[in-house]
Amino acid sequence: MTKRREFIKKSALASLTSILGTEIVFGEKMLATYAPVFLEQNDPQSLFGKHKEMTTLNDRPWNIEAKAHLLDDLITPEDRMFIRNNGVIPENIDADNWKLTIEGESAKTTKNYSLADLKNNFKSYTYQLTLECGGNGRSEFNPPAKGNQWTIGAVSCAKWTGVRLKDLLADVGLKPDAVYVGYYGKDTHLSGDPKKVVISRGVPIGKAMQDETLVAFQMNGKDIPLAHGYPLRLIAGGFPASASGKWIDRLSIRNIVHDGPKMTGTAYRVPCETVAPGTEVPEDKMCIIESMPVKSLVTYPKSGALIPLGDTFEVRGKAWAGELSVKELQVSIDFGATWQKAQLERPANRLAWQPWTAKVKLPRKGYYEVWARATDNQGTSQPMVVPGWNPKGYLNNACHRIAVKAV
């Protein structure tokens, strides 16, 4: 036990040292549970170049979310992009010698690609792609679900550049029994055990073959930021973002549904049939999350805004619907009694979120809430209340609301 604690303490010390960039003198005298002051001062702002209003939910591993008003840009800039890690961000990445291996029982051959191979030998594509964590909105479930208590900010829609996964799969050759592509990344386990894989998820072969499924090496026109998967990342927009593996060095073409860590059991799965809140659900009654549900955010004004009474004012936001598109967005200022249609734009490309705007008039001074509700192209709308309780707290797509005062 003492040995184990010593080991954890040492590896925690090592990672603190690497964050600080210098030795912690007398570090061995620091209690293992002690949070050094620099961690408080060095918020994600300076560590990851994040906006000062981003919220840190956990610093080991790092999990950081946005606030709704930070997501007002059409293309999410790096500093407003949520970070979700299951383990420790890899260090000392050598992009020049990076190798992506594609193998697996359903691969006709095994091939290795350097970043230069990917950039020079395959056509590059750029798409704007919505990535939402399956657990976004978890904080509202009751009984509560364990895990990061995301509110609404674990969603982003940046521009990703890379090669199509399907082009790589064609280069390697698929056997007819291929059903899934699993990813492996270079992040390390919190335990410090180098043999333990943190997370290894992936996508069904049908998703892998879509034009927009990328092995990406750029985000918003630059190298992918370290926290978001530098130098190479799988991007599967519209699926829970856990399918988009960061720091990838291996893809495995499987003849079974991939069974890496966090693919099995209850991880990123919901009950196949709706259950009453608090129900214990056996594993074989849990289904893998694929397309994310229809959802929207009010990104302007900021909740709490004071609106001068008078003419109309502009409310705006974003809407997305996993693998589907959004066909209508409505807003209400009277707690859902009446709804007005917003102007909804088309997505930049398939699987990108859609901006919307509405002109709203507040009839007299006082407190209001602006609610937004999106409907997907199959006619499914966001629920007004927290939907389908599930043991791990996934897929909360309840309507977003903001508070405003007419003054």
Ligand X SMILES: Nc1nc2c(c(=O)[nH]1)N[C@H]1C(S)=C(S)[C@@H](COP(=O)(O)O)O[C@H]1N2
**Contact residues: Mo ion, CB under 5 A:** 84, 133, 242
Which residues from 137-176 bind ligand X, rule CB under 6 A?
Answer: 156
Q: Given the DSSP bridges, would you call strands 100-103 and 111-113 parallel, antiparallel or unpaired?
A: antiparallel
Among 86, 106, 161, 330, binds ligand X (CB under 6 A): 86
Among 54, 157, 168, 199, binds ligand X (CB under 6 A): 199
Among 246, 254, 373, 392, binds ligand X (CB under 6 A): 246
What number of chain residues touch ligand X (CB under 6 A)? Answer: 21
- When the beta carbons of 229 and 347 are compared against ligand X, the nearer one is 229
Nearest to 134 by CA among 182, 201, 45: 201
SS3 content of the chain, % helix, strand, coil (to 5): 20, 30, 50
Q: Please tell me whether residue 202 binds ligand X under the rule CB under 6 A.
A: no
Q: How far is the CB of 105 from ligand X (least distance, A)?
A: 22
Q: How far is the CB of 86 from ligand X (least distance, A)?
A: 3
Structure letter (DSSP) for residue 384: S
Among 160, 247, 356, 371, binds ligand X (CB under 6 A): 247
Which residues from 53-82 bind ligand X, rule CB under 6 A?
Answer: 81-82
Nearest to 156 by CA among 136, 182, 185: 136
The entry of ligand X, Mo ion, none that residue 48 binds, CB within 5 to 8 Å by partner kind: none
b/e sequence 313-334, b meaning 16+ C-beta within 10 Å: bebbbbbbbbbbbbbbbbbbbe
Q: Please tell me whether residue 198 binds ligand X under the rule CB under 6 A.
A: yes
Q: How far is the CB of 147 from Mo ion (least distance, A)?
A: 9
Q: Which two tokens stand for residue 385?
A: 């209340």
Q: Which stretch binds ligand X (CB under 6 A): 40-48, 83-91, 168-176, 289-297?
A: 83-91
Structure letter (DSSP) for residue 200: -
Under DSSP, is residue 405 helix (H, G, I), strand (E, B) or coil?
Answer: strand
b/e sequence 258-273, b meaning 16+ C-beta within 10 Å: bebbbbeebbbbbbee
Q: Which residues bind ligand X (CB under 6 A)?
A: 81-87, 131, 133, 156, 185, 187, 198-199, 228, 241-242, 244-247
